[in-house]
Structure 1
Amino acid sequence: MKPLLFAAAALTATLACGQADAEPRRATPAQAVAMVKKALATVRRDGRDKAYAAITDPRGGFVRDDLYITVWGLDGVVRAHGANPNMVGKTLGDLRDIDGKLFIQERFQLASAKGKFWQEYKYTHPTTGKIEPKRVYCESLEDTVVCGGVYGLPR
């Protein structure tokens, strides 16, 4: 009986270690677009306060694998953030990526010019903690920009 218990414990430990080292599940561009559209519909249907709370809540339906929604006011203030609730309410319009790109300012320019767009920059992956290329899909909604992205270009 003891050898069987030992084997089961060893198998469990091996599986746990293998999962920790496994590549994170990655969202697709199609999933990013769908999640942004879902967030936009939720804001329109439920109002900003209720929708932003759901977007920021990891269990609110707007976080899946490495995909999460962010909502930025055109004033640079983070309205909702699915990966880091501590960012909500902060003014981060001058945020730069590792290469010095002012990607939030670029996002606001793209929002004004296009309304719907894809943007690329480098950002920290939410589960690995590594800086990776990121591609986000964004849509303007009144005085905000709603975005969701994928990591690890090219896609």
Structure 2
Amino acid sequence: MKTLFRLMAMFLLLTSASTFAADVPEDAIAMVDKGLSYIEKNGKENLINEIKNKNPDFIKGDIYLYVRGIDGVILAHPFNPKLVGKNMLELPDADGKLYRKDIVNLAKTKGKGWVDYRYNNPVSKEIENKSTYVYRTGDIILEAGIYKGK
């Protein structure tokens, strides 16, 4: 009976820990770095195709790599292909912030950094704080975001 209780307690501890584990900034940076390495070896167009084809190398839980042109047009998104080819710079987040403009401006002026905004988390189905790491390479912007909770 004690063994069963211990196993159940361990299971609950492990499942609750993974359920509430927060994304960490280093994971978003690592995802973007992985994209940069891929571009160096295989080229920009091949990376765009890999993301469109949902290559698992560019998806880690709810952190994934996507590509935007320096003009703001989405070039590759692994989960929402309807976004590809669209420029949504004028579409605000849940609080009215034009964060996509901030992403493009940051990429143009500093080349890399973080942009904070509020966005619907597809896992929790709630509006949460999100932070996206942005890195410009040539005429594209590599992005990977993390959810920070409410």
Please report the TM-score for the alignment, with normalisation by the length of structure 1: 0.77
Q: Deviations over 1:102-126 (max 9, x none)?
A: 1111111111221110110011213
Q: Distance in 2 between matches of 1:52 and 1:150?
A: 21
Identify the residue that residue 5 of structure 1 maps to in structure 2.
none
- The aligned length equals 136
Alpha-carbon RMSD across the aligned residues, in angstroms, is: 2.3
Structure 2, gaps ≥5 residues long:
1-10
Quickly say closer, same or farther: Cα 1:105–1:88, change in 2 above 3 A. Answer: same
Q: Deviations over 1:76-117 (max 9, x none)?
A: 210111332221122222221011111111111111221110
Identify the residue that residue 87 of structure 2 maps to in structure 1.
91
Structure 1, gaps ≥5 residues long:
1-14
Moved over 4 A (4+): none
How much has 1:128 moved relative to structure 2? 2.4
Identify the residue that residue 124 of structure 1 maps to in structure 2.
120
Q: 1:17-36 to 2 correspondence within 5 Å?
A: 23=19, 26-36=22-32
Is the aligned partner of 1:100 residue 2:96?
yes
Please report the TM-score for the alignment, with normalisation by the length of structure 2: 0.79
Q: Deviations over 1:40-85 (max 9, x none)?
A: 1212321222211212333441111110112111212101113322
Is the aligned partner of 1:82 residue 2:78?
yes
Q: 1:3-152 to 2 correspondence within 5 Å?
A: 23=19, 26-152=22-148
Larger Rg: 1
Identity of aligned pairs, percent? Answer: 34
